[in-house]
Amino acid sequence: MKKLLIASAAAGLLALPAGPALAQAASPYSWSANVGLFNNYLFRGVSQTDGDPAVQGGFDFGYAAGPVNLYAGTWASNVSWLSDSGAYTSSSLEWDFYGGVNGNFGKSDFGYDVGLIYYYYPGTKAPGTVSANTTELYGALSWKWLSAKYSYSLSDYFGVRDITNQKTDGTWYLDLKAKYDFEGAAKGFSVWGHYGITEVKGTYAAGRDPSYNDWNIGASYTVQSTVFKDTELGAYYSDTAKIDRAVYTTATGKDLAKGAFVIYVKKTF
């Protein structure tokens, strides 16, 4: 599940006395915002909305500190999985906060990204339920259109405990992705493929292991001009593998990790 955030900043202008015009230095600050509508919210291949639509949006703030970039942001989406499962008596929001540092190694095409993300689920937990709030540390390496990202949980993994009620901190997720952005006459089009591995820490009964793999393939187009500039239209197909289906099947028999098509429209400001 890729996640989006934004804050704002502005650089002031310095009044100059009469004389030769001086070029204004580029501001080291940057910001953006986004809002999107999705027919389904999938996070690591599992529906967070029971297959229903989601409205999502966020803010991102960046600061160019020499050869590295510092960033922070927030992102939110409606969800239903906590209330559907009975873990929370009321919960309909996922609200994420993150920050980190990224950049390139020298002038090469190799890049890196290191940061921390906190997944927050406001609401009322059912008695005896472990909080779904989760903190992950992540690190990523990239080369042109290839990337690998490793996320490591510093807390219980979204409220999961193993068969002995041991904590699930130490759970990890590996995200392998290839994304190609076209140039020239086809600029704005992108295609991608992803494969992910979730390894949940702990001991589990047969047929109840929450570890699994997920994958997806998709394409998108970002409008390059007109009033719809920076509007992205996309679609992808996602599915899971090496999974104990019972773990991700609701009490009504709905498999939240089954193959699904997702279509969306997203606007960046």
Q: In the prediction, which pLDDT does 6 show?
A: 32
pLDDT surpasses 60 at 3: no
**Count, residues in the chain:** 269
Rounded to 5°, angle at Cα 240 from 235 and 244: 150
Average pLDDT over residues 46-62: 98
Fold for the domain defined by 29-268? Porin (2.40.160)
Domain map (residue ranges) of the chain: 29-268
The predicted-structure confidence for 141-158, as pLDDT tens digits, reads as follows 999 999 999 999 999 999
CB 50 within 8 A of CB 82: no
| CA 258 to the chain's CA centroid | 20
Rounded to 5°, angle at Cα 248 from 264 and 151: 70
Q: In the prediction, which pLDDT does 268 show?
A: 97
Express as a percent the part of the chain with pLDDT over 70. Answer: 91
The predicted-structure confidence for 164-212, as pLDDT tens digits, reads as follows 999 999 999 999 999 999 999 999 999 999 999 999 999 999 999 999 9
pLDDT surpasses 80 at 9: no
3-state helix/strand/coil string of the chain: CCCCCCCCCCCCCCCCCCCCCCCCCCCCEEEEEEEEEECCCEECCEECCCCCCEEEEEEEEEEEECCEEEEEEEEEEECCHHHHHCCEEECCEEEEEEEEEEEECCCCCEEEEEEEEEEECCCEECCCCCCCCEEEEEEEEEECCEEEEEEEECCCCCCCCCCCCCCCCCCEEEEEEEEEECCHHHCCEEEEEEEEEEECCCCCCCCCCCCEEEEEEEEEEECCCCCCCCEEEEEEEEEEECCCHHHHECCCCCECCCCEEEEEEEEEC
Q: How far apart (Å, rounded) are the C-alpha atoms in residues 158 and 162?
A: 12
Q: In the prediction, which pLDDT does 251 show?
A: 87
CB 180 within 8 A of CB 150: no
